[in-house]
Chains A and B, each alone.
Chain A
Amino acid sequence: MAGKDGQDPRIQKISSAIRVIPDFPKPGIMFQDITTLLLDTKAFRDTIDLFVERYKDKNISVVAGIEARGFIFGPPIALAIGAKFVPMRKPNKLPGEVISEEYSLEYGTDKMEMHVGAVEAGERALIIDDLIATGGTLCAAIRLLERVGVHVVECACVIELPELKGRDRLGDKPLFVLVDGA
């Protein structure tokens, strides 16, 4: 597993704390398991610190985290930078009025939802998830926030799978990642 160029010495430890599980959820997929990172208190702390250092002076008022692993990284970042946390959820989980955005899967489609009124037009947002693969989920999150007039400043993930070209799919939206799942 490679770290990104240029790098902060904390990155190597974060990278090696991530466990790779072959053939999950199906044959041929090398699953990047962040649960082992969460067991390493220093590496987990460093992960959060790296994001907080990047975003704390960027006037971000919203951290949107994608269900479910985005819920693990998003709230600590939100709390540290003074932003609110907004969960972006699978259908029928959020109890109040929602807006929905459909997105493509390998086979079929899925939907992502956000509560109406959670964010306001003009707010500056960060979107967080554990990993970017094809970028489909992140694109849906960007569209949801932009539909209500929010400015998405950046998407942030712990891990990128570069061969799946998710970065390109995000178009003009910047992407910040800590490690490559190469």
Chain B
Amino acid sequence: MFAAENGLKGDPRLQAISQAIRVVPHFPKPGIMFQDITTLLLDHKAFKDTVDIFVDRYRDMGISVVAGVEARGFMFGPSIALAIGAKFVPLRKPRKLPGEVISEAYVLEYGTDCLEMHVGAVQTGERALVIDDLVATGGTLSAAIRLLERVGAEVIECACVIGLPEVKGQCRLNGKPLYILVEPREIDNCC
């Protein structure tokens, strides 16, 4: 669900967050309008507001794990984890994590990829939040949900700064709620 439809309608912070995101056309390939959050990270107030909106939502939900998807999930997840008193668990591409891992494959446009999590990072019964910068098809987030559920954690919600049109109208992913701050922007002349 979008934040604007779920308690934050008209919140000026959402407008500023949306404006701080840069659109880069034809990256990584022709036809893709890439939503670049690095410009959001340069705007201290907008970046802080992004984290604060998530923290306000999740601080009283008894969440003990924030799982962030490599690499842009790492830019948002730890600040949220620290503020709500949860641990941060990085979900990584293959062979990056040094200890024993569990792996979950997921489908790409062409081929498959894999997401890994350290064994022992998360305990059965823990309540988890999954965070990434953007959700498109939901393939990566679905793999993240499966990893956490395989070790007996309960995924309370998936949270993303940006949600692409494919997920508009869906409030759930693999049966899990999805919480999104903004829609993608079109390219405009000022950026």
Contacts and interface: CB of A to CB of B under 8 A. Distances in A.
B43 A38 contact: no
A78 B70 CA distance: 19
Contacts of A6: none
Contacts of B44: 78-79, 82-84
Contacts of B97: 35
Contact of A68 (B36, B79, B96): B96
A38 B75 contact: no
Contacts of B41: 75, 78, 84-87
Nearest to A119: B42
A24 B42 CA distance: 35
Interface in A67-95: 67-69, 71-73, 75-76, 78-79, 82-87, 89, 92-95
Contacts of A89: 71
A41 B42 contact: no
Contact of B51 (A67, A79, A82): A79
Interface stretch (B82-90, B158-166, B174-182): B82-90
A95 B47 contact: no
B98 A96 contact: no
A45 to B, nearest CB: 6
A95 B75 contact: no
Contact of B89 (A38, A40, A73, A87): A38
Contacts of B42: 84-86, 118
B31 interface: no
A41 B87 contact: yes
A95 B28 contact: yes
B90 A95 contact: no
Interface string A24-46: 11000001010100111100110
A39 B38 contact: no
Given A71-B71, A72-B74, A79 B36 contact: no
B118 interface: yes
B22 A72 contact: no
Interface residues of B, number: 38
Contacts of B95: 25
B79 A84 contact: no
Contacts of B48: 79
Contact of A33 (B22, B81, B99): B99
Contact of B99 (A19, A40, A78): A19
A41 B78 contact: no
A71 B86 CA distance: 18
A44 B82 contact: yes
A108 B82 CA distance: 38
A44 B36 contact: no
A71 B89 contact: no
Interface of B: 22, 24, 27-28, 34, 36, 38, 41-44, 47-48, 51, 70-72, 74-76, 78-79, 81-82, 85-90, 92, 95-99, 118, 121
12 contacts: A35-B121, A39-B87, A41-B82, A69-B74, A72-B78, A72-B90, A76-B79, A83-B44, A87-B41, A95-B27, A95-B34, A96-B36
Interface of A: 19, 21, 24-25, 31, 33, 35, 38-41, 44-45, 48, 67-69, 71-73, 75-76, 78-79, 82-87, 89, 92-96, 115, 118
